[in-house]
Structure 1
């Protein structure tokens, strides 16, 4: 066997191991709905509720963060979610804010400070790191049209990924798989291939709710999801695909044919979560607790962190979305797709959570809130919707981050 063939095979085996476990978790930004900072006790409450949800189809013992930096910190103070995760044995998908900055050094420093303090107790919980969240969406034609804020191009992200790997080379995190999170339509755009080549896994934010003009009624949501997910899988050259944001709002405006109700949230949970994702694909649902005040669409599956959700989480024995039917679904996945709010929250341009940064048709997502010192501001949750929609309330975390940079303010939303 030639050396090149051996290395290619080894790389494939390594990549396949990235998704060896189908993690179950939620997205979580670093601020609350009133924009105040989250502290350890707030995350402990979230993680405890997540692990004890009534009738859940598995244990939701993982969290996706949007930053390593504690909200409103003027230095690289580690986010207190780390301590809460250690206390509750919650796995961590790290988030590194990469928009509106020319360096991720504050993010790296915050994590290094946390590791110095907690050591193996922390590093053993880290399952991956996402360098950026919907940055490519924000600089896309759709993102610019939706005024989604400052983003980052593929060359910038590849540089940041290299900076991250260099910083943790030879450490306990050296082999932690690196990814990037963005809206599904971004991944089928060939100009972003350098990012695909640079990562171990691809994170997709996908919100059929925001797929206006594509038959986005709730009955069609499973087909819309499948088409976009399959398009991503077909574009990333065998890299594992993680679903980093998805969900359906229980309250909010009617988005084309999509209605926001708790009944529809349950349908989406069953037809996308139960049928397609849970136990099969690393999944971070949007969301356990609402925290983006700028997004009128609310996605939380619980109220006040009750372990009894708004709807029954039990997975049904049969589903209404069938593989054969998906071939004739009303909509098709296109490069202009939609995304959900981001975060911290994300539609095909973004994500459904306010795109935490969440976001539209492909929209963005919304909830990453965390302040950092240095040259960038980590947004709290932003309110952009994905699925090719326009930004919710016209405000995204990225946009706010860009504005704060311009005026020299480094506090979060």
Structure 2
């Protein structure tokens, strides 16, 4: 299949597709001073996101005691989440399992979209594909013994992983994909150094390659697939030819995020809110980029929406 052709035609024909993919947002666990959030802070986040979604994604149940403080907010605000379980090291993994067993019974199964074991664990080479597959299988068995506040088993909730699109395309990682009920693919044209007039085409091409490979590995197109992370920063340093700005972020929203959702693919945007506490980051080429990690939110550090989130087809 010619994916570059598909990506181009996707942008052209997006408005003719009936089933709009769901929208969700990744959220952080700390406020702008770097202090862990509590329930009231999460409630404020969810209330701001409510006009656009009822779905969030987070990465670990035990870091910052996330699930302890977030679970009541999810219930109170009628939100649902992809619940992240951190698989490394074994101590951290056990802490996340312990938090899940303690706080999932305080929620409804309706508050949980899925569980992801790991976020870019293969990309970072934290685990081999088989080791990650084993962790996914282990968590499936573990969570099947937990019931929600109404006595329903979490065994019916999908368990999978999230990783970079290019890692998922690499057939070497097939054992991890085989173990998944769902797969989340992360794709950032900014971190590929793309100019804006090519960024959305590149992003859609990346995701379509990941979709095809996941379906090929699973031997079916009946698998739950999401974009796990994507977005564009509004400030900070350039990365190669990629330039942060509010205008570029809004363009990527319209031409990339809205288009992929119009093709029926559920999408998590990274991220809901700027995180002013974050340090500089380093790209794959070794270039340190000052400040950019602080400015991926659709809301700024003061809780002000940066640009229009409607899709203008």
Q: TM-score range by the shorter chain?
A: 0.7 to 0.9
> Which residue of structure 1 aligns with residue 155 of structure 2?
174
The change in CA–CA distance for 1:103 and 1:252 in structure 2 (over 3 A counts) is closer
> Which residue of structure 1 aligns with residue 13 of structure 2?
none
Post-superposition offset of 1:265 = 0.4
Gaps of 5+ in 2: 1-18, 148-152, 216-220, 281-290
> Which residue of structure 2 aligns with residue 109 of structure 1?
98
Cα distance in 2 for partners of 1:305, 1:128 equals 30
Q: Is 1:224 aligned to 2:213, yes or no? A: no
Cα distance in 2 for partners of 1:183, 1:42 equals 29
For 1:263-412, list aligned pairs within 5 A.
263-277=247-261, 280-291=264-275, 293-295=278-280, 296-297=291-292, 298-304=295-301, 306=303, 309-317=305-313
> Which residue of structure 2 aligns with residue 186 of structure 1?
167
Q: Is 1:157 aligned to 2:154, yes or no? A: no
Post-superposition offset of 1:244 = 1.1
> Which residue of structure 2 aligns with residue 198 of structure 1?
179
Post-superposition offset of 1:35 = 2.2
Report the TM-score, using the length of structure 2 for normalisation: 0.81
- Bigger share in helix: 2
SS at match of 2:56: strand
2:232–2:249 contact (8 Å) kept in structure 1: yes
2:230–2:269 contact (8 Å) kept in structure 1: yes
Cα distance in 2 for partners of 1:21, 1:68 equals 30
The change in CA–CA distance for 1:205 and 1:67 in structure 2 (over 3 A counts) is same
Post-superposition offset of 1:233 = 1.2
Cα distance in 1 for partners of 2:115, 2:40 equals 24
- Superposed CA deviations along residues 347-388 of structure 1, whole A, max 9, x for unmatched, are xxxxxxxxxxxxxxxxxxxxxxxxxxxxxxxxxxxxxxxxxx
- Superposed CA deviations along residues 281-334 of structure 1, whole A, max 9, x for unmatched, are 22111111122511411111112464x5211223222xxxxxxxxxxxxxxxxx
1:45–1:305 contact (8 Å) kept in structure 2: no
Post-superposition offset of 1:278 = 5.6
Report the TM-score, using the length of structure 1 for normalisation: 0.62
Cα distance in 1 for partners of 2:268, 2:183 equals 13
Q: Which moved more, 1:273-282 or 1:286-295?
A: 273-282
SS at match of 1:136: coil
Post-superposition offset of 1:102 = 6.4
2:184–2:225 contact (8 Å) kept in structure 1: yes
1:68–1:96 contact (8 Å) kept in structure 2: yes
Q: Is 1:261 aligned to 2:239, yes or no? A: no
The change in CA–CA distance for 1:175 and 1:21 in structure 2 (over 3 A counts) is farther
Cα distance in 2 for partners of 1:79, 1:186 equals 32
> Which residue of structure 1 aligns with residue 37 of structure 2?
38
> Which residue of structure 2 aligns with residue 241 of structure 1?
225
Cα distance in 1 for partners of 2:91, 2:131 equals 8
Post-superposition offset of 1:245 = 0.5
Cα distance in 2 for partners of 1:221, 1:62 equals 25
The change in CA–CA distance for 1:78 and 1:248 in structure 2 (over 3 A counts) is closer
Gaps of 5+ in 1: 1-19, 53-58, 140-150, 318-413
> Which residue of structure 2 aligns with residue 66 of structure 1?
59
Runs of at least 4 residues off by over 4 Å: none
Post-superposition offset of 1:209 = 0.7
